[in-house]
Structures are given as structure tokens and as C-alpha cells.
Amino acid sequence: MNPDQLRSLIADVAAGTTSPDAALRRLTHFPGEALPFAHLDHHRMLRQGQPEVVFCEGKTVDHVLAVCTRLFEANGSFFGTRAAPEHAEVLRLRFPRLEYNALGRTVHLRLDPAPPPSGRGTILVVTAGTSDLPVSEEACATADALGNRVARLPDVGVAGIHRVLGSQEELRQAAVVIVVAGMEGALPSVVGGLVAAPVIAVPTSVGYGASFGGLAALLGMLNSCAAGVTVVNIDNGFGAAAAASRINQAWEEGGE
């Protein structure tokens, strides 16, 4: 049942050409049909306040261009992750204002004029090692695209614990902390013990041998002895930022 059909049905009831019982029968049987596919994106925007994000990996340049163009036409902006340089090049020809985060592999076309960042505070992205930076940058670019203030704290691995401690001021000022780490994945436990804000841990596939593609870091974070740490998938900087944005922006939406 598409919206027009629904509208007709209700109009028919109002007009008396369909009995309430007949209308009831149709509506009871197909509860989901009231939401037609074609209106989905609008509904999602209303439901979650977040536009669709384009996952570019494995998509052709033409496909990505088509999807982004359609999103631009609907929303005046778009955001994509796992974008290769080729994706960015072709998009920039069509959208000269495009921003490409080469390390984080994201493409972003902001609204024009761009609204100021919103949300209660700053999302701080803490990174253990330089090899983890691509994941961190994906998180930073995503959090930025979703309208948040973002700060970075790079290169604070636990084997040099003094670096973490020397950054306590910045850690405490964040509304949400994202911690990105590979290898043993111990950093979120340390950070989680230092701050009161929510901490989202992102294991990375950085490492070799018994890191098993990020499994060691993932398990380490899931077993964190610091209460209040939650975890996302390996290398999922995007997901961490989406969660952080939900936390940071809930307050923009007004009370319940």
C-alpha cells in the first residue's frame, strides 16, 4: 500500500465509499505497508536525524557518482566512507567543493552554507599508534559530517603511559571519547579509568601474527576492566562516530 493508496483508502472512508470495517481489515493485515519504499529516506531522516551514508568500497566510480548526485539533489549534501582516490577524483569534477580525507578515505560535500556544529560538546578521537590513524580519521570525518565538534589526540599508546596522563585535561573536556587502538587494544581501559564521559572503543586490524586481523584488540576491548566502555567492529571508525554522534546530539532534539 503506497501513500497514495493509503490516502485514497482514508478518503474513501471519509466519503463513506468504504466501510470502516473493510478499511480496518486491510490496515490490520498489512501493518508495514503504510510505509512505502519510495518515501523511505525522508522517514529515516525524521526517525533518526541522520541522512544515509554511502559505503563506497566495492562500488564502481559511476555507481558512487550516481548515488551521491541523487543524495545531493535530495539533501544538498552527501557523505561517503571507504572512498578510493578514483572515487574522489570523479566526484570532485562534478562537485568542486568536495572534501576528500585521503587518510580516512571519506568524501564529504557540505551544505552551502554549512550549519555550525551542534551537539552538547566535543567528540575526542584518541589514537594509540600512527598505523591506527586511517581508522581514526574515518571517525573524525564522520563525526564532523554528522554535525559535531571534533578534536584529535594522536599517538598515546599504553607502553608510554605518561603520554596518556599528560593529556588528562583534554580527555576530561570531551563529551564523548572514541579510542582507536590495534595490537593489544589496552588503551580504552586506561582512558575509561580516567574520564567520566562515555568511551567508545574501536579495535583496528593493525598488528601481525597473533593479532589475527584485529581479533586480539577486539577481545581486549570487550573484556575491558573499565566499566562504561563499549565497542564497535574492527576498523569501524564510521560506526564509532555514528554512535558518538547519537550521544552528543540527543540533546539537540529537545526533551522526550
Query: Which residues inside 214-243 make contact with a second copy, applying CB under 8 A?
Result: 214-236, 238-240, 242-243
Nearer to a second copy, 114 or 168 (CB): 168
User: CA triplet 252, 195, 148: central angle to 5 degrees?
Assistant: 30
* Residues 116-145, interacting with a second copy (CB under 8 A): 120-122, 128-131
Binding flags for a second copy, 177-216, as an x/- string (CB under 8 A): ------xxxx--xx-xxxxxxxxx--x-x-xxxxxxxxxx
Nearer to a second copy, 76 or 223 (CB): 223
Contact predicate 109/99, CB 8 Å:
yes
**What would you measure as the largest C-alpha separation in the chain, in angstroms?**
77
All three cell numbers of 187, joined, read 588503551
* Residues 11-70, interacting with a second copy (CB under 8 A): 11, 13-14, 16, 19-20, 23-24, 27-28, 30-37, 39-40, 43-44, 47-50, 53, 55, 58-59
Shortest gap between Cβ of 179 and a second copy (angstroms)? 12
The Cα 205–Cα 135 span in angstroms is 10
In this structure, the dihedral spanned by the alpha carbons of residues 168, 174, 178 and 180, taken in order and rounded to 10 degrees, is: -30
**Coil, strand or helix at 112:** coil
Binding range to a second copy, per CB under 8 A, among 85-93, 98-106, 110-118, 166-174? 166-174
